[in-house]
Amino acid sequence: MKKPELLVTPQSVDHVKALLQAGADAFVIGEQQFGLRLAGEFSVSEVEEATKLIHAAGKKVYVAVNALFHNEKLDALAEYLKEMQRIGVDRLIYGDPAVLIIRREQGVTIPLHWNPETTATNWFTANYWGKRGATRAVLSRELSLDEVLEIKENTEVEIEVQVHGMTCMFQSKRPLLGHYFLYQDKVMEIENRKENRNMFLHDDERNNKYPIYEDANGTHIFSPNDMCIIDELGELFEGGIDALKIEGVLQTPEYIVTATEAYRQAIDTYFDESEDAYEDIKDDLLAKIEEIQPAIRPLDTGFIFKETVY
Amino acid sequence: MALVLEQNDKIREILDGKRVITKKPELLAPAGSLEKLKVAVHYGADAVFIGGREFGLRSNADNFSIEEMREGVEFANKYGAKIYVTTNIFAHNENMDGLEQYLKDIESAGVTGIIVADPLIIETCRTAAPKLEIHLSTQQSLSNWKAVQYWKEEGLHRVVLAREVGGEEMKLMKEKVDIEIEAFVHGAMCIAYSGRCVLSNHMTARDSNRGGCCQSCRWDYDLYELEDGEEKALFDDNHAPFAMSPKDLKLIEAIPHMIELGIDSLKVEGRMKSIHYVATVVSVYRKVIDAYCADPDNFKIKREWLEELDKCANRDTAEAFFHDAPGHEEQMFGVHGRKTTYEFAGLILEHDPETKMVTMQQRNYFKPGDEVEFFGPEIENFRFTMGEIWDEDGNSLDAARHPLQIVKFKCDTPLKPHNMMRKENN
């Protein structure tokens, strides 16, 4: 059995250094005009700087180009892919098939990860994108553990799943916060809060709080709970899942570091020591996460143990 | 004599000195049942999209059995109309069972094509049911021409664009890629990129991408910000709560523009809507398309067409992304009840030209003295004051109270089967 990769989302170049220390194996970075809901914003030169650091540590860097693109962005995307080729990042994360076409046209050879967010839901389609160049499928977070494991059993591509953090449940092209302020005749609020990522929607009936923000890709709304399955990793390990992601969007840098350390310890204990050793420490690891968990963000296990109907 | 205006310009020609449009777009209508399918085709749809019992996104709609699809195809064939079946879920592993047989059955029913989002279904269709056309669903949120090129290279017949794509973007797609393009022109909208919303999954454990959408985007929420750990309200008593409910799409006035762009199929949304809605919307868009194509240079939108569309409107309407990005006025705040100005009151079954007696199936309460309106593809709309009403046995009625009851009344103006009667709401 091979250790799964521990994949994290740094917020800055300095944060990359801290996360390397904490034991991360791979990093998702990029900028919002090409990548969706990144934990931090990395300019091209910062990608270059981060890549040098990460490669020097023998780790991997993945650049997100998984936005839904409109015509006006295609030329910039082509230039960006060429820059990534020059820098020598390890993978490109895509959702829009335009990336496949542009990559081919530009002679870019960086391997691909397929990540369409909500729509990577079965093994056949993961293999389909595999035949078209993807080396990995990033599964949707709305899948149960059984579905995840069945996908892994039947795919030729690597499988990545999120194990920790917030999940996006909605993306609109429309600036919905700005529209609400305009409707309320509070034009000033738009400028005041443009960069803020501290707003949430309260759902009275469910008593849930959904984080919401706007950026170049529109409006994004997030799950009311943070997923955490640090004490439920055994079956993912046994099933040979290739990569475990800690989603750091809207978390503090310190929080992401602590979560990374905890998952590092879980993986190493299981693989370097034993399943029993992991069983012994997993409740402590969970407690460590609970200690840093913001009061406003309850923990849950996402859809891992929850079925959906339709 | 026909003179082609420009090379490669297949949309327009000059006929006897007058410009005409020779490439008419398809008018594509929704049908949630066999009855709605027949109404849509009879009222002028060139094609109809329907849902089957599986693999589609409206688990609440009646949906078609294979036998009903076959009957729908036979009916549509008489009018030269096509039928497409929506199979646009994003499948989970468990949904793969039975897919092959299902696609074969659809093919054998004589359907023209399927509307698909998941490559699983695209690939399965190619091998199991190769005669079916494959149309990419709006669930893929296709937003740029390179992605259109990708699906062209994959051999798809048609792509349905994301609802976020504007007219200028469509133009470039048509110029760059030789593939049929279908775009929404009328009906309810997702406020999210289609396929990229799982609010239902999180809020109600219903999978939106397999037909379980509970329309959480139409609910109210309270907007707050966190400031130093304090929750501060960003709403006040003078305004409605935060909402993201979009107005319905209505592109009737952009139809000429879309025809000139060469858009291949103009799509009306609404498999859950009534036959009155389908009939009204289809007949209006039919008139707009036909009038523009016959004489584009003297075309004007008629006020009566706009008024007619309003008679079946459920919500306020907007043009969304077609010209510019939609503003806040294209969303509804504090508006929940649906607005309807007219009710569907009855479906004409027969009109006896001798006795002037009308036989009608009741669809809503009406009584003698009510002001009503008749409409249909063969007639000009006309208003009428309801006289005496009888039941099938000739008993006089004080009102037509019972849904689907067969009633009779006299009307001097000729009516045709499938014409409809509507009544203004008080």
Judge: A172–B118 Cβ closer than 8 Å, yes or no: no
* pLDDT tens-digit readout, B198-237: 999 999 999 999 999 999 999 999 999 999 889 999 999 9
* pLDDT tens-digit readout, B68-113: 999 999 999 999 999 999 999 999 999 999 999 999 999 999 999 9
SS3 per-residue string spanning chain B? CEEECCCCCCCEEEECCEEEECCCCEEEEECCCHHHHHHHHHCCCCEEEEEECCCCCCCCCCCECHHHHHHHHHHHHHHCCEEEEEECCCCCHHHHCCHHHHHHHHHHCCCCEEEECCHHHHHHHHHHCCCCEEEECHHHCCCCHHHHHHHHHCCCCEEECCCCCCHHHHHHHHHHCCCEEEEEEEECCCCCCCCCECHHHHHHCECHHHCCCCCHHHCCEEEEEEECCEEEECCCCCCCCECCEECEEECHHHHHHHHHHCCCEEEECCCCCCHHHHHHHHHHHHHHHHHHHHCHHHCCCCHHHHHHHHCCCCCCEECCCCCCCCCHHHEECCCCCCCCCEEEEEEEEEECCCCCEEEEEECCCECCCCEEEEEECCEEEEEEECCCEEECCCCEECCECCCCCEEEEECCCCCCCCCEEEEECC
Long-range contacts of B390-398 (CB under 8 A, 24+ apart): B398/B367, B398/B368
A197 CB within 8 Å of a chain B CB: no
DSSP state of A118: G
Mean pLDDT of A246-256: 97
With tokens 């209006």, the residue in question is: B284
* pLDDT tens-digit readout, A76-121: 999 999 999 999 999 999 999 999 999 999 999 999 999 999 999 9
For position B8, what pLDDT does the model report? 45
A172 CB within 8 Å of a chain B CB: yes
Best mutation target among B202, B209, B247 (most A Cβ atoms within 10 Å) is B202
For position A1, what pLDDT does the model report? 82
pLDDT category at B179 given cuts 50, 70, 90 is very high
For position B7, what pLDDT does the model report? 41
Rounded to two decimals, the pTM is: 0.96
pLDDT category at B3 given cuts 50, 70, 90 is very low
Which range among A144-148, A173-177, A185-189, B173-177 shows the weakest confidence by mean pLDDT?
A185-189
**Closest B-chain CA to A78:** B146
> Which chain A residues contact residue B261 at CB under 8 A?
none
> Which chain A residues contact residue B143 at CB under 8 A?
68-70, 96
One DSSP character per residue, A151-199 reads: HHHH-SSEEEEEEEE--EEEEESS-HHHHHHHHTT-HHHHHHHTT---E
Residue A39 corresponds to which tokens in the numbers above? Answer: 């934990």
pLDDT of A189 above 90: no
Judge: A309–B206 Cβ closer than 8 Å, yes or no: yes
pLDDT of A172 above 50: yes
A96 CB within 8 Å of a chain B CB: yes
pLDDT over 90, % of chain A:
95
For position B2, what pLDDT does the model report? 45
A117 sits in the region (left: phi over 0; alpha: psi -120 to 50; else beta) called left
Asked if A114 contacts A126 with a C-beta cutoff of 8 angstroms, the reply is: yes
Phi, psi of B383 (to 5 degrees): -95, 160
Long-range contacts of A146-149 (CB under 8 A, 24+ apart): A147/A121, A147/B92, A147/B93, A147/B94, A148/A236, A148/A239, A148/A241, A148/A304, A149/A235, A149/A236, A149/A239
For position B395, what pLDDT does the model report? 97
Judge: A199–B224 Cβ closer than 8 Å, yes or no: yes
Sheet holding B12-15, edge to edge: B2-4, B12-15, B18-21
